[in-house]
Amino acid sequence: MLKARKGELTYAVKVSSSLGASSGHKVADFATEKAILAHLNHSHIPSLVDAFCHAKVNYIVQEFIDGYPLSYYIGSGRRFSEAEVREVLLQLLLILQYLHQHDQPVIHRDLRLSNLMLAGDKIHLIDFGLARFLNSAAVGPAAASPTASSLAAPKHVRPNSYRSFRQAVSPASDLFGAGVVGVDLFTNWVSDPAHFALSWQKLIPASQPFITFLEQLLTGQKYFCSAADAYHTLKSLP
């Protein structure tokens, strides 16, 4: 994502080439992302300013969020407390509630620390490149892949199951992704890399009710019928 200025205004610009063997998919992805962003209006999703193609390069221009992705804070060594992780998930689940209950529901499909911007105390969801309309799932690009440092991916599901959850054009995909975000925010509490082989439940400094909640998110929709359901459950935890 690039930063651009026009006069006194600052914008975020996503640039992608439509060249290459998979250019057909890239063009379709660009058109879908443009359509989805044009359809959304939420204070925690950067608004679409413009989207165009020039010299076989695609540009998506959005509102600029003056903050950093959560992955930046993990990379800088910040340790998030349980209270902070809860607040991130509460805000994220409200965004998902908006997306999933929209008049034309949207599934983000790529929830990860790098796609969540923290500006002040507010979370903003970015990068809808893998997003799909729930009722228009004909185009299916490659799934997002887990990172090697993820606490969640290796231990609670098999890799092919993880990939399937990420690919699914379903609210369950985003609930699962929210669970991954919640677990990965505790990454810096693990001081010995060898401990990544252990179950994440044994590693994170969190209360048992919150650990159980994260486990339930990671099952998709087995425990929660919607993002709103998960939000209210988290709100009610001791």
Tens-digit pLDDT profile for residues 95-108: 999 999 999 999 99
Give the model confidence (pLDDT) of 120-154 as tens digits: 999 999 999 999 999 864 333 333 333 333 454 43
Q: Which residues contact 203 (CB under 8 A, 6 or more apart)?
A: 151, 186, 189, 190, 195
pLDDT of residue 165: 74
Distance, C-alpha 223 to centroid of its chain: 20
State if pTM tops 0.75: yes
pLDDT tens for the 238 residues of the chain, in order: 889 998 889 999 999 886 655 555 666 899 999 999 999 999 999 999 999 999 989 999 999 999 999 999 999 999 999 999 999 999 999 999 999 999 999 999 999 999 999 999 999 999 999 999 998 643 333 333 333 334 544 344 444 566 777 778 999 999 999 999 999 999 999 988 888 889 999 999 999 999 999 999 998 668 999 999 999 999 999 9
- Please name each of the domains of the chain with its CATH number: 2-63 (3.30.200.20), 68-236 (1.10.510.10)
35, 62, 215 from 48: Cα distances, Å: 10, 5, 34
Token pair, residue 195, equals: 């401990």
Residue 54's SS3 state is strand
Please answer whether residues 98 and 42 qualify as being in contact, where contact means their C-beta atoms are separated by less than 8 angstroms. Answer: yes
**pLDDT on residue 219:** 86
pLDDT at 136: 66
206 and 179 Cβ atoms separated by less than 8 Å: no
pLDDT score of 140: 37
Report the pLDDT value the prediction gives residue 22, as an integer from 0 to 100: 56
